[in-house]
């Protein structure tokens, strides 16, 4: 693998995926990068399928817990309002 050509100016960006340099990206990805806030350095990694599933399950459980808590509070408020009438 040859090292990437050095660019100058606003397009001088080096992209790493899993700590490996990527020469080219798709136009769709490039457009989404251009819409993002410019940062000097960004660190990220691609999750394995097991890690992605675990992360999804954690987020889903969190949202279900929040929705349940809101529903319970709403029901208690309705019951209290009904008893006070």
Domain boundaries, the chain: 15-38+45-84
Distance CA 9, CA 7 (A): 7
Question: What pLDDT does 77 receive?
Answer: 94
Distance CA 46, CA 55 (A): 12
Average pLDDT per run of 10 along the chain, which is 85 residues long?
57 67 74 66 83 95 98 95 83
Question: What pLDDT does 6 receive?
Answer: 59
pTM reported for the whole predicted model? 0.47
What single DSSP character describes residue 47? P
Q: Cα–chain-centroid distance for residue 73?
A: 29
**Nearest to 16, CA basis, from 38, 35, 44, 52:** 44
Question: 10 Å Cβ neighbour count for 9?
Answer: 5
Question: What pLDDT does 22 receive?
Answer: 73
């Amino acid at each position: 693998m040859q090292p990437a050509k050095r660019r100058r100016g606003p397009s001088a960006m080096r992209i790493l995926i899993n700590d490996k340099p990527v020469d080219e990206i798709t136009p769709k990805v490039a457009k989404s990068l251009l819409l993002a806030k410019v940062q000097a350095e960004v660190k990220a990694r691609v999750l394995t399928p097991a890690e992605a599933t675990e992360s999804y399950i954690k987020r889903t459980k969190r949202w279900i817990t929040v929705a349940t808590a809101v529903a319970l509070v709403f029901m208690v408020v309705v019951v209290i309002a009904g008893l006070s009438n």
